[in-house]
Homo-oligomer: A and B are copies of this chain.
Amino acid sequence: MSRELKARLLNELESIVLIDPHTHINPHSAASKTLADILGYHYYTELAHSAGLARAQIEEPDLAPKEKVRRLVEWLKPLENTIQSSWLLEMCREFFDFDSDRLTPANWEGLYESASAKMAAHNWEEQVLDKSRLEKVFLTNDFDDRLAGFDTSRYVPCLRTDDLVFNLARPAVRQRLAKATGIEAGSAAWLTTAVGRLFEHFTARGARACAISLPPDFEPQSVPAEAVDPILKAIDAGREPSADESRTLARFVFWTLAEHCLEYHLPFDLMIGVNRRVYENGVFQGQDLFDQRTSLVQYRRLFNAFPQVTFPISVLAQTSNQELVSHSWIFPNVVTNGHWWYSNIPAYIELDCRSRLQAVPATKQIGYYSDMYKLEFALPKFRMYRRILASVLAEDFVIARNWSESRALELGQMVLRGNVERIFGLAG
């Protein structure tokens, strides 16, 4: 009975048209062109490298896509158990009529060709969006992105701010900022003005969120302009800032971003807990890890200071999930957001999904985002989430609490789609 119930719920959840609130899609090249775009996703390159594939093999300059796929396929066998492999198979079946249950050195080449043929269709992007029931896709835009040449109602801009907060001491970043805003940010006041220009530009082009990823030890607080001016001056004079100065500057820029989120009515997506470049010889995008010793209590000043700004929060460590649940339960402006990266596997999603549905108001939960680089990934990733959601709705609501199936599905709809529309101001 429980199995049939879950199947019925999943079937209904599958019919919901999605807005994907966080991706790394390039709107000028949203869908894949060859299987190399899919197998080149960092999950596969890093797992294959972890299993033994030399980095040089897949990061060789001018490596042809087909050869890259050939080299990666040789290392898929030890990864078959991973949930990421199951996404790959599901994409191949759904999009490319692949009918084997394994991708191997013996059968990849036919798939490669048939996939290339399908992807060559002039409307491949639309086919993928349709089949995946994807209506809108949030982007991750550099602060100096011109946001031109694509349909911003489909590909929703989002101002990504890691560089501004953590890399402003780099000449290249300051030059990009100057070029984008026409302002040399040599003082706290000018920096604030420059940030304002960015928000103007982004919101004029339909941006619906500001976003940033943060290291485990980051603790935001307000910093007076007077403390920042000498640091900016020293940087302009070519001096490397000290660790203390870097932290002060990061806090200032971060707080300034929050002030502008307030002014421009943008939610501020916080993705908390990543340590960059821990494995220095890892593959591209496969070098980052985390330190579970972090706490959302570090953000108390921010949440108290900006009651009118909504903070959709993702945590990298699964051990941070309860803090996220409790903070969302207490702070009106804190919202749970998806299942990020190393927490994005069924064993953890299940526990996190259950605890959120049991203790956070339904209106304050963004169930899932794909984090994808190519459109084809939304389908298997959201399906993984929908399966878990269907199972939790069945067990914890229909069975344990005697809810009707339609009531459980209303909750599912809100978490999957309704809240994304409302929280990011997309409805109507």
Binding site for B on A (CB under 8 A): 46-47, 49-52, 78-84, 86, 101, 275, 278-282, 286-297, 300, 303-304, 307, 317-320, 322-323, 325-332, 342-343, 345-348, 351, 354-355, 357-364, 387, 396-397, 400-403, 411
Q: List 19 A-B contacts (CB under 8 A).
A: A47-B361, A49-B332, A50-B330, A50-B331, A51-B364, A52-B363, A79-B362, A81-B357, A81-B361, A82-B358, A86-B401, A278-B300, A282-B331, A289-B297, A292-B322, A319-B322, A322-B348, A345-B358, A345-B359
Residues of B within 8 A of A326 (CB): 289-290, 342
- B319 x A292 contact (CB < 8 A): yes
Q: Which of B275, B345, B355 contacts A345 (CB 8 A)?
A: B355
A323 and B396 contact, CB distance less than 8 A: no
Q: How far apart are the CA atoms of A307 and B331 in the complex, in Å?
A: 41
Chain B nearest Cβ from A113, distance in angstroms = 26
Q: Which residues of B contact A331 (CB under 8 A)?
A: 50, 279, 282
B278 touches A362 (CB 8 A): no
Q: Contact: A343 with B360, CB < 8 Å?
A: no
Q: What's the number of copies of this chain in the assembled complex?
A: 3
Q: How far is the CB of A56 from chain B (nearest CB, A)?
A: 13
A325 to B343, CA, bound (A): 10
CA distance A402 to B387 in the complex (A): 14
Q: Which of B83, B317, B323, B329 contacts A50 (CB 8 A)?
A: B329
What does DSSP make chain A's interface, helix, strand, loop or mixed? helix
**Are A347 and B342 closer than 8 Å at their CB atoms?**
no
Distance in Å: Cβ of A49 to nearest Cβ of chain B: 6
Identity of the chain B residue whose Cβ is nearest the Cβ of A325 in the assembled complex:
B342
B329 touches A322 (CB 8 A): no
Q: Report the separation of the CA atoms of residues A81 and B359 in the bound assembly, to the nearest whole angstrom.
A: 8
Q: Is the CB of A330 within 8 A of B46?
A: yes
Question: Which among B275, B281, B295 is the interface contact of A291 at CB below 8 angstroms?
Answer: B295
Q: Cβ of B290 and Cβ of A293 under 8 Å apart?
A: no
B362 touches A80 (CB 8 A): yes
**Cα–Cα, bound, A328→B318 (Å):** 16
Q: Inside 8 A of A396's CB, which chain B residues have their CB?
A: 346
Q: Do A81 and B278 touch across chains, with their CB atoms under 8 A apart? A: no
| B51 x A327 contact (CB < 8 A) | no
Task: Name 19 extra pairs, CB < 8 A, besides A81-B397, A86-B401.
Answer: A47-B361, A50-B332, A51-B332, A78-B363, A78-B364, A80-B362, A81-B361, A81-B362, A84-B359, A101-B402, A278-B330, A279-B300, A282-B331, A290-B323, A291-B295, A293-B295, A322-B343, A345-B358, A347-B351
